[in-house]
Chains A and B, each alone.
Chain A
């Protein structure tokens, strides 16, 4: 083995093509194997988790009452009923969260890209967005609890959950929108200014439409992410087995909350009602998240600038 000599130390002698030494070959081979193995190590749990969810959840979701009924009319360990109440809660809370986060996050991104441009306050803002993206969901939940419930004296509700989700969604919206706005070429901004179009109209009518496709994708991904959050639900709203459309009062279910509730009240042995419900809800949640991602792809393709 001549592996101790590095390339540069090796004299340039014939034959013209020196064999790569065994030691170097072994090292290179080992690295290749390890790197491939790492990737497989990440794929295995992903496939395993999805397999678990699908196999265990598929038993309950093909029935129409799973999508059209709540658990209000069945006992907690009785077969039947559905998760409509939790789907409504998840969608409603997610939607209201998006209605607040999207304009706010978008405006922050516009500030950072169109107005701040590396100035002092824009650096502070970027930094704070980074910090906000690192705030644990349970801390966001406690903050809203301290603000909404203790300080304002308002009841625990789906809306309080939405507010906590806003804290988690804003940084994701800002990040993705910022990235998309930055890749809009300055040429277009200049072309618009040169036509005598004011800056705000340049931003809203030229820059935003150009970046819209990517921004929508980012927003939908962020929405899918916060809809799977559990911690804010635990602290900020009670679970109800009934459909409740009222976001501002009373208990309201959501899919993760329903799963957590089943875990607390039912046994998790295969074949039991609790087992079916929890994995059925998990699969329902995964389907909703997948659907949102699918819609995101579709919508962003629709609004993307076309060539022909």
Chain B
């Protein structure tokens, strides 16, 4: 299942604005990669190009390649809809579909986009909810609206929804920034378990979180005001937080950022 991602010389633009400059990085399978950096440095933007979600914004485009197990997802014959089925995403704010029940939320991807094979939707829903550590909390109210859950439960519901379509990669865009510390801990534990099956890339504002959950960390920064964001350093998480190669990384980690 899990696949590796290789980004090669990726430039990202919004209209004429050059948002991110020439990123090259590799994400190994069954591994958690964290993107850290100051606001506006382009870390979320890069994440969104990994499953072609940035195209949803009018005027957004990229130069360069993103390879999923060697296949370029930006090749002209690739359907972005298929890319997103293969590379799932969890967002900053929990966003369950308000008109659907908990069960329908989990299987929404399969129902709306087709696929899912021979398994029944109920089986898939249970498996995904178990995978997201939510099954025990919601098994008695699967037909209740997803909006009735707590914020942390909603976010795990969104993770269940993302893994129900059995993607190869899971992208997480600051998945805990809207949650309280206890819910955050639950999600972090879950990430640790999901890593056995999925390649995970997570954007986070919280450096302790990056240190806790990730195997490797990428530090992004702005080259200057009005300049594009760029990848400063990609390294093992331990190395980044103890003895980074770049001065800029060390300044940011130690809070001497400026």
Question: Hey, which bits of chain A sit against chain B, CB under 8 A?
Answer: 117, 185, 187-198, 201-202, 205-206, 209-210, 212, 303, 305-308
Contact = CB atoms under 8 A, between A and B. Distances in A.
B85 A195 contact: yes
Contact of A210 (B81, B85, B86, B97): B97
Given A189-B56, A194-B89, A308-B148, 4 more contacts: A192-B97, A196-B85, A206-B99, A307-B147
Contacts of B97: 188, 191-192, 206, 210
B54 to A, nearest CB: 11
A210 B112 contact: no
Nearest to B108: A195
Contact of B112 (A188, A192, A305): A192
B162 A195 contact: yes
Nearest to B158: A191
6 contacts: A117-B58, A192-B97, A196-B85, A196-B165, A201-B113, A305-B99
A141 to B, nearest CB: 40
A209 B108 CA distance: 13
Contacts of A209: 99
A194 B53 contact: yes
B113 A196 contact: yes
Interface string B137-150: 00000001101100
Interface string B31-71: 00000000000000000000101001010000000000000
B144 A193 contact: no
B56 A201 contact: no
A85 B42 CA distance: 67
Contact of B81 (A185, A198, A303): A198
B95 A193 contact: no
Contacts of B145: 305-308
Given A305-B145, A308-B145, A210 B109 contact: no
Dominant SS among interface residues on chain A: helix
Contacts of B91: 187, 190-191, 194
A188 B94 CA distance: 10
In the A-B complex, the 5 residue pairs with the smallest Cβ-Cβ separation, listed nearest first, are: A196-B85, A195-B109, A305-B98, A194-B89, A187-B95
A193 B108 CA distance: 11
B177 to A, nearest CB: 14
A63 B108 CA distance: 53
B93 interface: yes
A202 B113 CA distance: 9
Contacts of A194: 51, 53, 84, 88-89, 91, 162
Contacts of A192: 97, 108, 112
B149 to A, nearest CB: 10
B82 interface: yes
A308 B148 CA distance: 5
B81 A196 contact: yes
Interface in B201-255: none
Contacts of A202: 112
Chain B residues touching A, range: 20 to 34
B147 A193 contact: no
Nearest to B145: A306
A205 B112 contact: yes
B247 to A, nearest CB: 36
A121 to B, nearest CB: 14
Contacts of A195: 84-85, 88, 108-109, 112-113, 161-162, 165
Nearest to B111: A205
Interface string B117-157: 00000000000000000000000000011011000000000
B95 A185 contact: yes
Contacts of B108: 192, 195, 197, 206
Nearest to B58: A117
Nearest to B82: A196
Contact of B99 (A117, A189, A197, A210): A210
Nearest to A195: B109
Most buried by A among B89, B99, B108: B99
Most buried by A among B86, B98, B158: B98
A189 B97 CA distance: 9
Nearest to B112: A197
B113 A198 contact: yes
B148 A191 contact: no
Contacts of B93: 187
A117 B86 CA distance: 28
Nearest to A205: B112
A190 B56 CA distance: 8
A193 B112 contact: no
B53 A193 contact: yes
Nearest to A184: B98
A202 B56 CA distance: 12
A210 B108 CA distance: 14
Contacts of B99: 206, 209-210, 212, 303, 305
Nearest to B167: A196
Nearest to A201: B112
Contacts of B161: 191, 195
A75 B82 CA distance: 72
